[in-house]
Amino acid sequence: MVKLISSPNSALSGRVRVPGDKSISHRALMLSALAVGRSEVRGLLEGDDVLATAAAMRAMGATINRLGDGHYEVYGVGVGGLMSPDDIIDMGNSGTSTRLLLGLMASHDMTVTMTGDASLRSRPMGRVMDPLGEFGAEFSARGGRFLPLTITGTAQPLVLDYSPPMASAQVKSAVLLAGLNTPGRTIVREKIATRDHSERMLSAMGADIRVVVEDGVRIVSIEGQPELSPISIDVPGDISSSAFLLAAASMVPGSDVAVEAVGLNPLRTGIIGALTAMGADIVIENESTLGGEPVGTLRVRAAALKAATDLAVDPSTMIDEFPVLFCAAAVAEGVSRFTGLEELRVKESDRLNAMAVGLAANGVQVEELPDGLIIHGAGGHGACERIPGGGSVETHLDHRIAMSFSVLGQMATAPVTIDDASPMQTSFPGFTDLMTGLGAGLALED
């Protein structure tokens, strides 16, 4: 465990890039490993989660070579060409790797045992085991639904028409990836649209994937057993990582930060709308496209934040950004009420509880609801205000909890102590250096 002490230093200013998008990086490795031929990926996130995906794809037969920083070449095995790894595969902290790979494995004639760290071993896998079982895959899992688990995929998968009971891009993608090696058309019906990186990338690689919206339901269907063409892709910066900078620069007086080449997929940009509705000053500049996704520079300047009353955005478009939005609410003027967020309880940690406990330990008045939080902001008279701070925060192996409290410490009277900074490595290598380079006060303590 590496302790991190966060305390105010100066206004934040500078132009930066954040590491590549985690969701797109996972998919770039998985799908190029199924293409026929050589793919190239630039700007890949070299965080532990994505490296776990790379190791798993190698263990199943793909060739993945690192050519330079974030630059990889991948020789695919073709759809249907994955082989059983000769050992257990360890997915570390990565729910996305685990659930998406289970999708791929379900329709291959293979047997794989997967495990992960304590956080991942506590996360529900039933949400993918249920639909993948309908393709014909078989599972043996600890407690019925948890890692470690063994999947035996089927050589004769049956197509599925599935309506996930929760808004989850991981569940949708797991089903679509199982459909990739299944003859016929696999269908996923989403009541609430979730990030569509799988759909975009599969389409760019030549799969017959269609999206229609009927009566508010987003229906995604894919024809199985395509030959996927190799790709050459530049991964955009991760908006979920940028969110820490957007919140920090909004909160700390006098800040002015530009984050370049950030992915602005409309199913991911909820944090911009949510912060803007609280009074944040965020301007999008230099819009273009990268890797089949919209990108732009986000310029953010400090602003007087008001409480979030009626969240005007769909939670699925910013599901990973709530912890840092809660921090913004803690320094804003007024009482924020967040509800409908029960999914936050099954992330890398129970994020509602981890945030409630950490905020309270730092003098923020907070109430935990079954599906959300009520946060009494310290701000007043149209300005953000420092919170008392001085507390210690347990990160529970959750990168976003660690980074959120690093941001909050920049607006604390007494330093905020984060018990373990190492989980940041899963999604945002270099976070502390990047933040201190902008002017933040962060110090690591062994």
**7 and 409 in contact (C-beta within 8 Å)?**
yes
Q: Choose between 173 and 406: whose C-beta lies nearer to ligand S3P.
A: 173
Give the nearest distance from C-beta 169 to ligand S3P in angstroms. Answer: 3
The runs of H, that is alpha helices, within 60-123 are 95-106, 118-121
- 192 secondary structure, DSSP code: S
* Active-site residue (options: 49, 320, 350, 398): 320
Distance, CA of 295 to CA of 20 (rounded, Å): 12
Residue whose C-alpha is closest to residue 327's, from 291, 354, 300, 292: 354
Alpha carbon separation from 418 to 1, 241, 395 (Å, rounded): 10, 18, 7
Q: Choose between 125 and 364: whose C-beta lies nearer to ligand S3P.
A: 125
Q: Choose between 267 and 360: whose C-beta lies nearer to ligand S3P.
A: 267
Query: What per-residue string of b and e applies to 411-431 under the rule 16 or more CB within 10 Å gives b?
Result: bbeebbbbbbbebbbbbbeeb
Residue whose C-alpha is closest to residue 340's, from 318, 307, 366, 362: 318
Give the nearest distance from C-beta 173 to ligand S3P in angstroms. Answer: 6
Locate tokens 């007024």: which residue? Answer: 334
Residue whose C-alpha is closest to residue 272's, from 318, 235, 213: 318
Instruction: State the DSSP string of 300-312.
Output: EE----B---S--
**355 and 329 in contact (C-beta within 8 Å)?**
no
Q: Choose between 116 and 136: whose C-beta lies nearer to ligand S3P.
A: 116
Distance, CA of 294 to CA of 5 (rounded, Å): 36
φ, ψ at 414 (rounded to 5°): -110, 150
Give the nearest distance from C-beta 352 to ligand S3P in angstroms. Answer: 14
Give the nearest distance from C-beta 133 to ligand S3P in angstroms. Answer: 18
Give the nearest distance from C-beta 436 to ligand S3P in angstroms. Answer: 25
Residue whose C-alpha is closest to residue 393's, from 413, 379, 382, 408: 408
Q: Choose between 173 and 297: whose C-beta lies nearer to ligand S3P.
A: 173
Distance, CA of 337 to CA of 372 (rounded, Å): 8
Helix (H), strand (E) at residue 431: helix 431-438
Q: Choose between 96 and 265: whose C-beta lies nearer to ligand S3P.
A: 96
Q: Choose between 125 and 328: whose C-beta lies nearer to ligand S3P.
A: 125
Distance, CA of 251 to CA of 301 (rounded, Å): 9
- Active-site residue 320, yes or no? yes
Q: Which residues sit at the interface with ligand S3P, rule CB under 6 A?
A: 23, 96, 168-170, 173, 195, 319-320, 343
Give the nearest distance from C-beta 170 to ligand S3P in angstroms. Answer: 3
Give the nearest distance from C-beta 15 to ligand S3P in angstroms. Answer: 26
Question: What residues are labeled active site?
Answer: 320
